[in-house]
Structure formats: C-alpha cells, structure tokens
Structure 1
C-alpha cells in the first residue's frame, strides 16, 4: 500500500501532481525499508526516487555521488525547494566541513551528498555512526562495473554499507545497464535481496541520426547552424587534442564553444562547466570525462564526431539531450577511419584476450547500430533487452536507406586485398585499395606495376564514397581486419573465404541520395520545439528574462529556479491566482512563496 506522505511531499516540495511510471513503487519500497536497484533513463526522474523517501523517513538521506564538481548545483537546487541539503567533499575548507558535520549529527539535514572516496574514510564513517541515516542512495551505480564505460574503483568498497548499517535501506540508481551489468551491480554492492525496477529505456523526444563522415568539422558546423543556432549542446570527441581543435574551430566560426577534458587544469574545467550550466546557448566540446550527472534540462543536441566505443556509452551520452522532454537531437558522424582506428585500439589494448573480446563485442554492437537498415531506436533498445515497434523519429524511419546485394562488390574488394598482398607480400590502406578498384592511375600504381593486376579498374562503376561505404561495412562485419603491424592497412579474415567462394550472400546498406546530402549539410527535417501562440511566446520570453535575473542574483543556473517546461506551461495557462499557479508542474510550496507574486505580476503585465 502506498504511503500517503510520499505524494504529499512530491506535491508540496517538488510541485508535481503525481508520480511517473514506477517512481511510486520505488519510493514505497524504500520508505518501507527495502533495498532497490533502479534503472531509469536520464531525465526519467531518478533523483525523486531517493529524495522523496529521504524526506519521509526519519534521519538524513546519504547520497553517494562521484560528481564533486556538481554537488554544489545539486544542493543549490534542493535549497531552492526548501530542502535542508549539504555536501562533504574536498572543495570545502575545514570550517565549512565541520559546520556540515555538526548539522548532520544534530539531525538538521534532509540530504547529505558525499563522494565515495570521502565516505570510505574512517573519519566519515565515524561521523555517520553519530547521526541517524534515513537511507543510502548510490547514484551512477554503473560505476561499480569493471566492464563498464565509467568504472570507478572506489565504488567497489560500497558493499560495506550493508554490513555496517544492515537496517538502513539502500537504493542504487543508474541510467544505463545491460542485464549482465545489472547482475554485476547487484553482486558488487551486496544488493542480493533488492527489488529491481527497470523502466523503459526509450527517450521518444530524442531523434537519432547517424551520417557518413565527410569533412566532419564542416558537417558539425552546418548541423549546429542549421538546427541549433544559439542553443545548448554537447559535442563528444575521442581525444583531448580533437576536443581543443574542434572547440577552437567552432569558436572561430562564432559558436560559443568551450573545451572540456581531463587534461585541462581543474580550475579551467570547473569554470567551463559552470558557464555551460549557468549561461544560455553554450556548446561544450568534450571527451567522455564530461557529462555524468549533468542536470541541465535544456540541452537541445548531443553530437558525436568520433565513433563511441560502446552502445552503453552512446546511450548514456545521448541521454543528456532533452531532459526536459522537449524535442532534441542525437547526431553522430562516423566513417571508415573510425572503424580502422577502433579496431587498432582494441588490438593494441593492454588487457588479456578476454578483455579484448569484450571490447570487440561492444564495438560490433555499436557498428551494428550504425549500419542497420532498420529503425535505430529498435536496435538501440534491443541492446538493453527492450522490444518496440518502429519509432518514426530516427533517420532510418524518416528516410529509409536501401539494402542492396553487395556480394559481388565485396568479392571485388576482398580479391583486391588478396592480390595486393600476394603480389608484393604487402598490405595497403583503404584509400589505395579504392584507387585500384576504380582504376585510378598514379605514380605509385605505375611504380608497383599494379595497373596490370586483373582487379585494376573492376570497380569503376561505383564512386569513391560508395566504395568507402562497402569497405566500412566489411570491416564492421569482420570480413576485413586491421593489420596491427602496419598503420591502417587491411587484411583478410577467416570469414572472407566464404564470400570469395560465393558461399555467402551479403546485403549491404546504401544511403539514399537525400540522406547522403543531409550528411554534408543541415537536415531539412530538423526537430523543432512545439510552437507557442504569439501572446504565450511573448510571456514565455518575459518569464525567461525574469528567471535569468533571479538566477544571477542567487548565483545558480537558471533551470534551478524553474525549467523551461514550467515557464512554457505558465505562459499557456496564464494563472491569475497563487492557487492556480500552485497547480503548475514544478511549482512547489517554497517556490510559490518565493516567486509566486512576481510571476503573477508578469502574467498580468503581459496581458495589459
């Protein structure tokens, strides 16, 4: 049976009329003292699943979070709601830390955020023994998975919470985990008796789009200018140097872009992150070191200009777009060189054979997502064990690619690779193989005598772009491999034989001409936010300006005051009384008291 106190807290403190999805069941489980393992997509409302029980149960909710740089913002957001929240981390001086410790022991805190390495110190454990703990919330729980993309060794010590406080309920939360990762989380955190809650992984407001890489910086610029001018976004790159080059390029083109990677000085990273959170329209160009725990709701796009290493990583990163539920884009450009580079990185990795096989399987799943001719969202969610019908909001649904019999084309490629190796005992890169196929004469082909090969010119019927697509797919299918002894050179595999002998038919993906053009320029099928009527739009803009001024005065990001979605609802509803305003989602009792009259005055002023 549901605890009525939970709904009362949700409405009074957070300003929401009702729970969504499985939130109610999760909250009830923890309030009643049970453990829970929660998988819920970014933007699905995970934080409420521990914040509400912490406010209902006696004592302080202790939140274990790896995100020291974001604790201040999380605490600021709760303080705006009237929640007594604080954090303990290495950014505080001893006086500030002592004040927090004293407040905890005195029972004056509802929520206390602690980094895992801090929590596991003798001093912190002794402190926790002196207070009353309502629950332990282990956020970003996938960090405990040694096979995962965000492994944090300090998370392995968190199993001791159950041993030391067996009567305190624990809730572990993550936005992404396969069945295998979920089992690993439960084992490593000693959540053997925890109830598992797996919400839908679908984020229907995000449009997934993958284009062939072709002068990727220009493609990225066209995408941002054509679809997201002046809007907040994140651009992911594989290397630190690529981050800095891309940020500098976008900045030179008039885009407000900032770099973020682990090699930057900590003050620079903190300043750039703060600007991204607090200012409108900033584009963060980053490695995967950025993004976990970012609560900014109005990120309108996430772009990848290098191929992610795994579907889990890709899903986690794209999930940072559109947390407010409004339309957002996940855009990825990838090409042949991405596949070559990733295969080489796996072959050169220091792990054992089992580790390399695991990385290879993750890459294969990512390549399968890129090369599918079916709905991308279907393929993405199937990786997490969820089945849906075609989504109608990804590129393959909106402009279906063609599937064609590429068996003969594949045989031409594989024969060329074989004959080049047989001719001189050497292997060659993709560009040279395509030159041979298309019969492109050069000083090199003449010097090596390759113009006399039987395969010279057998592929003149296909363009260079088309051949690169064939080579990319053969690499993705494991019918070609990257030779680790030569940079970027290609070699046959055991599976190549069946194709060469005609024992295996290959259906390959061919982009439509329209899709190929979209890969080079901005999309004509851009996602757009729902249009407000002119009078509501004017009020929305006035409310945004007011919110920005309040946020600057309080020293917090604008979304901490109110989300855009809340302001849009106010602009449409045009409430005339505090009671009317209190029924708007996101307007809790504390915010109604603090800002209600100001909002009503602006609504009335706009109507006048």
Structure 2
C-alpha cells in the first residue's frame, strides 16, 4: 500500500517521520492501535491521514477545546471544503450542530473532534450510530489512566460508548506513558490486542537544568529571559495567583508576557494563545492548562517556576520546547518545600489516590535531587535505557556539564541489596532506608524488623545517602519498583548476580537543596551564564571584616553572606545598583556601600569582567505597601498582634517582613514590643550574644540558650540588634 502519494497530496510532505508510516498502515488495515510518541513526533498526522484517505468519518476524542480548534483549523487549511473537519462540543449553537450533522451525513466530514463529555449525550450517540464511522482516535490517552498525570474520570467510560456507536477500530495516542499507564489504558478500553508502537522518548536537542528555588526566583527568571530577548518561552506555575504575579513582574521589567489560566474568561484565553502563536508576545506564563496540542515549533525555553506533580507532566511540558529540533532549554526551580505543599493538597483525597500521588511525587524528588545524567534518569522512568556517553544528547544537562565527584560504593550496594533480600522484598524505599539507618516506625515494628541483627547496619551513612544510592541502583536495574504496590522495592536477576559477584560501583552524591541553602546561588558556569565570582567574594569578606571592626559590630550586621554572594554575581559599581542586591536597600547602601562599590569597580576594571546588563530587576511594588504599613504602625507603637491581624498575617510572617525591612537598611523601632516580652536583663543577655556571635543564625542562638527563649523572641531581638548597631 503506497501511503506516500496521499501524504504528498494532503500534507505536502515527501517522507514520513519515525513510526508514522507503520502506525498508519495498522489503522488502514483496521487494527486496534496504540501509539506512544513524544511531543513533536507528529502524532496527529497518524490519525489525520488515514481519516482523509478512508470512507466515512473518524471520531477524535480530545480533552481540550483549544486543542480541537487548533487542529480543525489546520485540517481546514489543507482542504477546499470547510466541512472536512468539525468540532462537536458545548460551544456550538443549534444551527451549528445541524450543519455538523448535515456535513457528516453527506460524507464531507472526515474528522469529527469531540470532548468525552459530549460523546456521552444520547442524541449524539443515536445520530452517530446511523453514520459510517471509519475509526475512533483517542488523543491524550493518558487521561484514561488514574496512574496518568492528567486523569479524567469521564474517559473511563469510552469503551462502552464506542461499542454503542459501532464496532470500529480504536487508535490511542499519548506523548507520555509509563509501562503501568500503558497497561491501564489498554485494559480499560478492552483493546489488549492492539498493535503497539513506541517511539524513543529521547529529545536530544533539549537541555535540562534544575536550580535551587530561592526567595529570588522571579529575579532569576527575569535574568534568564533577558538573555533570550525575542525568543519564545513558556513559564509554568502551579497556581493562578502565581501566574498573574509572574506575568506582571515580567511586564514591569519590559518583557512581552501574557498570563494564561482557567480563571480567565474564554475570550481572553483564546486571545493570549493566539498572541503567542502569532508572535505578538514572547512569553506565556501559564498553569498546566496551557500547551496541550499547541503546535508552536519554535518555543526556545520552558521554565517551571514550581516543580510539577509527576515526571510525566514534567516530560510533557518540557517537550513543548524545540519541536523544530532547534534549541530547547528546560529550566526548573526546585525546593523541597514545594513538594510538601503538594503533599498537603493531597491529604483530602481518597487513600488510594493519595498513595498514587505520593509515589509519583517521590519520582519527581528523585529526578530533581539526582546528580546523575538527567536524561538517563528520565528515560529510565519511561522504560528506556540511555547510553550517557554516546547517546544523542549525552552532554545536554547540568549534571553532565558539571559532574560531581564519584566514590567507590561497592560494599554499600551489597549492603543495600542484602537488606532488600533479608526484609523479604516487602518494603518501599523509605522503609529500606529506615532499616539501614536503624530508625524504628510502626510498620518496621509490626514486622519485627527492628529486632533483626541487620537493623541499623548502615547507620554510619545518612538517610539521604542511602536514598541517593537506591536511585542509582534502580537505574542500572539491580532493583525495580513494583508500581502495582505503590513502589515496593524488589531485587532483579541482575541484582542477585551482583550480590554474588560484586564489581566496582561509582556513586555520585545527590544535590542538597536544604533550607540552609535557601539563599544559595547556583554556581553553574556553563549553562546558566551567571557565575559566582569566588575571588571577589573573598575580597568582599575581608572588607566586611575591616568595616565591622571599625564600626564595632559583628560582620553579619554590615552585610549578610547572601548579599555578598549576590554582589559577586551582579558586580554593582554604584550605590543605585548596590541597592538592588539581595538584602540591601537604599539605607544600607548609603551607610556601608561606598567602600564596597569601590572594591567591586576596581575588581571589574582589573579583571575585565563582563557585567550583566540586566542588573536592576524592578519589583511590582506589591510588597512596598505592606512595608510602609509596618513602618508607620510600629512608629505608632501598635501591638505586633494587631498589625499582623489587620494584614491577615501570622506573627512569624510579620517578623519575616520586618527582617526584610531592617536587613535592607531601613530603621524599625520595635523596643516597645520587646519591652512587653523580655525584661532588661534578658534583652541585654541576647544583645551580648549577638555582639560576640560568629553568625546571626537563629538556630545557633536557640542551641546556645537551650530553650530559655523561643524563636520569635530571638528573631525580634535580632531585629532590634541590627537596627541599633547596623542601621
């Protein structure tokens, strides 16, 4: 069967891409067909071409109205008759529905796009039953599986609806599906006999990078985008509120961005999507609702402001970059706090759903924290092996460009595998780790594991170390996770073989994204373009020591470490620029800044440093109103509880805002509030402590006073201290 002439006739292509030709042959031969093809692999052509070639109408089930509209427009563009493709959904009026039915009945319509909700309607089913249907295509088929990242309950019923219409072949297509999701889809649709086609998940032109998510994340995003002015990109956030905030900050900083989320009215959504497609704007800031089926080939970067709920989501969203095989940069910001937030959202769901959600989230944590080749990790998740030395795209991630040190871990691997064996392969990763480090919990106690001689045999290493080793041992197939049992770890034949005959195993340690590193700046020269100048940091630290001695205050009261790090990243050479540095406001810049900008300026001249030209990141001013309110009301000596309450804040959040004010050099008198909390002697004792302390870390102070003062008291005293000695 020659498919090339219809391909040329309808789409103007001379050649098929990848598996397209085999898939189309399977459909034309009336076989049930299952296709897994990464975004950009040409999935839609797999059902569009056979539909145009065959007699009758093909029904395409699709989850999003925007996606249907896009595809219908594209098909109408290659045919002289508008009726060749139609949408049947809730957006049509009676006249339009009548037109659709007429075109199907007269044999003009080749593709009918429907949402699963519309297909349930009896009037539509009754009509379609009387028509010639060529086949049913289910796009975004992962929506069928509750293990998929975008489960839609209405998809579960499709099997019965299709049977009610006609006994026709079914073709399922998805851009992401783990082994578990694939089985679930085929079983639910009752097409386990389907011909299966799976393209490689490797998108060799995409560069993957994870950066720690700090309080400065919006600034980091602006710097990244400003280095790519005029290029198209998508920024994903988990909440509508965050979408609006980020879009606004980008706009204030002169970047051409629009928001997109389900809370906007349909007209605005369509307008913003069209602006992006027509290049009237460069960046869409969106919730995950955006991008499914968006056929824009030249998206140059995809940024995740918040880490997604599953690796499928991450893979599909990053897959929207570089569909023309050109550059595609995938940058995600990660903090474990975000994972905890997602877990909190889940706690209201049914237990089985929570179990699935937790299992999927742990895979995301593994991917973010791993220091092995990210592509290898990602492809392993989708059941594909990757050669990290010679594979296409081998050096296209932050970990490969900046490899961490490795060490010999042969004995630890044997210890790990034997624990899995001795605990009878009934535990998930977390319990295996608890057994190794000797940490009791109800599950281990109920199985009497805590009484075994091997309990605690790995306590010389941390839990994080063992978790990292489990991930690396998984990827080389010594163990596997039983997804059916929500991630119970089992030994493989390879793992058993390794225990009998261990050979060298080089392990790299995971990245740490702990709270301690909350203000860390990633040092990633080759990929991020922003590099912390370590030599300059040292010069600034020496200067800080000198200034502190002269003023008779501890060094941290002059500038904190994160501020020095930021100076060594931005190279501010005047006071205006210095006041945009993390934790430095105008007051602080005026008080201490002169010597610092002089040292930086000399350093820039002597070393011919190329300064980033996007130094000043404007804020949207949302917080300045709050800051002003706090300053005015502490001046009026209003109680802190009342100030917090009137702004809907917890006391700890109010203290955080107050810290930001005084650390940037503005005075804030809270003596009246402290006098109600602590007597003169207590205040003096804490003041003395900060005067002598190496650092102003609250944890150090808590340890020093060993329960005499609580965290809020110490933080308020630190504010008073900085206020008096530094501002």
Output the TM-score relative to the length of structure 2: 0.56
- Cross-structure match for 2:397: 394
Residue of 5, 11, 21 corresponding to 1:8: 5
Mapping of residues 261-410 of structure 1, within 5 Å: 261-346=261-346, 348-352=347-351, 354-390=352-388, 391-403=394-406
1:498 Cα shift? 6.4
Distance 2:525 2:90 in 1: 45
- Cross-structure match for 1:224: 225
Question: Does the 8 Å contact 2:34/2:196 carry over to 1?
Answer: yes
Question: Does the 8 Å contact 1:311/1:362 carry over to 2?
Answer: yes
Residue of 500, 503, 516 corresponding to 2:522: 516
Q: Structure 2, unaligned stretches of length 5 or more?
A: 389-393, 410-429, 438-449, 467-507, 532-727
- Cross-structure match for 2:178: 178
Where 1:516 maps in the other structure, the secondary structure is coil
Question: Does the 8 Å contact 2:311/2:363 carry over to 1?
Answer: yes
Distance 1:216 1:46 in 2: 35
1:403 Cα shift? 5.0
Where 1:63 maps in the other structure, the secondary structure is strand
Question: Does the 8 Å contact 1:399/1:515 carry over to 2?
Answer: no
Structure 1 residues 405 and 358: alpha-carbon distance in aligned structure 2, compared to 1, 3 A threshold? farther
- Which structure has the higher relative contact order (CA within 8 Å, separation 6+)? 1
Distance 2:408 2:251 in 1: 44
Question: Does the 8 Å contact 1:261/1:289 carry over to 2?
Answer: yes
Structure 1 residues 298 and 400: alpha-carbon distance in aligned structure 2, compared to 1, 3 A threshold? same
Question: Does the 8 Å contact 1:223/1:521 carry over to 2?
Answer: no
- Cross-structure match for 1:106: 106
Distance 1:249 1:496 in 2: 52
- Cross-structure match for 1:85: 85
Distance 1:169 1:290 in 2: 30
Question: Does the 8 Å contact 2:119/2:161 carry over to 1?
Answer: no
- Cross-structure match for 1:197: 197
- Between 1:396-405 and 1:131-140, the stretch displaced more is 396-405
Distance 1:72 1:85 in 2: 10
Structure 1 residues 500 and 298: alpha-carbon distance in aligned structure 2, compared to 1, 3 A threshold? same
1:518 Cα shift? 3.7
1:515 Cα shift? 8.8
Distance 1:381 1:10 in 2: 31
1:359 Cα shift? 1.9
Distance 2:335 2:26 in 1: 47
1:279 Cα shift? 2.8
- Between 1:392-401 and 1:20-29, the stretch displaced more is 392-401
- Between 1:264-273 and 1:197-206, the stretch displaced more is 264-273
Structure 1 residues 7 and 501: alpha-carbon distance in aligned structure 2, compared to 1, 3 A threshold? same
Question: Does the 8 Å contact 1:231/1:282 carry over to 2?
Answer: yes
Where 1:306 maps in the other structure, the secondary structure is coil
Where 1:387 maps in the other structure, the secondary structure is coil
1:17 Cα shift? 1.3
Distance 2:330 2:100 in 1: 40
1:157 Cα shift? 2.0
Q: Structure 1, unaligned stretches of length 5 or more?
A: 407-473, 481-493, 526-608
CA RMSD of aligned residues (A): 3.2
Question: Does the 8 Å contact 2:369/2:511 carry over to 1?
Answer: no
Where 1:316 maps in the other structure, the secondary structure is helix
Distance 2:166 2:325 in 1: 38
- Cross-structure match for 1:141: 141
Distance 2:282 2:41 in 1: 24
Question: Does the 8 Å contact 2:233/2:282 carry over to 1?
Answer: yes
Distance 1:159 1:209 in 2: 40
Deviations, residues 102-132 of structure 1 (Å, cap 9, x unaligned)? 0111101121211111122111112212321
1:46 Cα shift? 0.6
Output the TM-score relative to the length of structure 1: 0.67
Distance 1:241 1:503 in 2: 38
- Cross-structure match for 2:57: 60
- Cross-structure match for 1:48: 45
Where 1:295 maps in the other structure, the secondary structure is coil
Matched, 1:155 2:155: yes
Question: Does the 8 Å contact 2:258/2:283 carry over to 1?
Answer: yes
Structure 1 residues 340 and 497: alpha-carbon distance in aligned structure 2, compared to 1, 3 A threshold? farther
Structure 1 residues 271 and 520: alpha-carbon distance in aligned structure 2, compared to 1, 3 A threshold? farther
Larger Rg: 1 or 2? 2
Distance 1:204 1:496 in 2: 44
- Between 1:31-40 and 1:288-297, the stretch displaced more is 288-297
- Cross-structure match for 2:15: 18
1:355 Cα shift? 3.0
Where 2:395 maps in the other structure, the secondary structure is coil
Aligned residues: 439
1:251 Cα shift? 1.0
Question: Does the 8 Å contact 1:260/1:272 carry over to 2?
Answer: yes
Where 1:192 maps in the other structure, the secondary structure is coil
